Structure 1
Amino acid sequence: MASEVDHEEVSVLLRSLADSTRLRILAALIEQPRTLSEVTSLLSIDIESAFHQVRKLESAGLLVATPDAMVRFRADLSRLQRVAIQLAPPKRVGAAATSAEVDSRTRDVLRAFFDGPRLIALPVQRQKKELVLEELLRRIPAQAEYREPELNQMIAAIYDDFCSVRREWVMARYMVREQGVYRLTERGLSVLAN
């Protein structure tokens, strides 16, 4: 069942993204966490403007400050992803089932296990499970690496049992995990390339 759209949340997010400087800052922080001075240096903007724009992005829930000795900001797109899922008409999302070009058998499997943007359950049968795992991989933002908390949020927007999905991605060799950081393997990258 699709959740109701929170129009105020949508409005806040859209307003926060309606500024080119904020978009540039967000793009820089998707790549990796950075300090405010790193952002100003990278984007050639003054510190006051950067501080003001970072605060707006932070209050919109698009950035979080890391608890390091030196404060670094990182992009957190889970709220944006959740709103996008709320706005997607379930009928259209269900009909599309995937953005990738797939055969009719694959499309039928995905329709059986997805209810619009949400995964209903992980299949037991290995072939079907791999089709679903690959679809889940296509539905999260492509990044060089994922910290476990952010990966949990991305998966939770699609399926509540994020631990099982992470474990299955590693077991099926779509990702590797080292010290709480997940990286796509060659197999995982090939899914995103298709």
Structure 2
Amino acid sequence: MEKAEFQTLLRFFKVLADESRLKILGILANRECSVEELAAIVKLKEPTVSHHLGKLKELNLVNMRPDGNTHLYRLNSEALQNFSKEIFTPDNMASLVEDVEGEAWESKVLKNFFEDVSEAGCDRVLRLKEIPASRKKRQVILKWLANQFEIGINYPELQVNEIIKRHHPDCATLRRELIASKLMRRENGVYWRLETSIKRPVLSE
């Protein structure tokens, strides 16, 4: 699910997580009402009803039309149907946990393949125990390694080797893997990290 869709879904549930707003929508699904009428039906003050209507209007769930000196409100059934068709789909619901599950799995891989070899009073040093044979697990390691390089900085090969060797002695293999995985590029002995949309896997303490 795209971030914008997720935020819309979150707003939808927040707006409807209120008994009075749900009652107002139910009333407006049957007929048009003014703020005064709604206040009498749901037994709320008119400013409170106006506040609830404002929240519903933010999601385009109610329509308003002028009628003389007053305003009449009605449920926007088309907007509600669009929510159902575009947001409340099985695929979108399933995608809500994809990132969470993916990040949890990546963290587990990192925890299994790295060990902390830091010495007291020194910066934290994480050593890669071995290069995973599994391509999927290796990709997690490569993502982590790529994040040890800053975007927009050119690195000579010697410096790339030094950075990789802090974590594993086989810098040649890992350097080639970073290039093959399109996490870094190389030209004339100069390396740089690509501006990909990868997330930074978190290695648990």
Normalising by structure 2, we get a TM-score of: 0.41
Structure showing greater Rg? 2
Normalising by structure 1, we get a TM-score of: 0.43
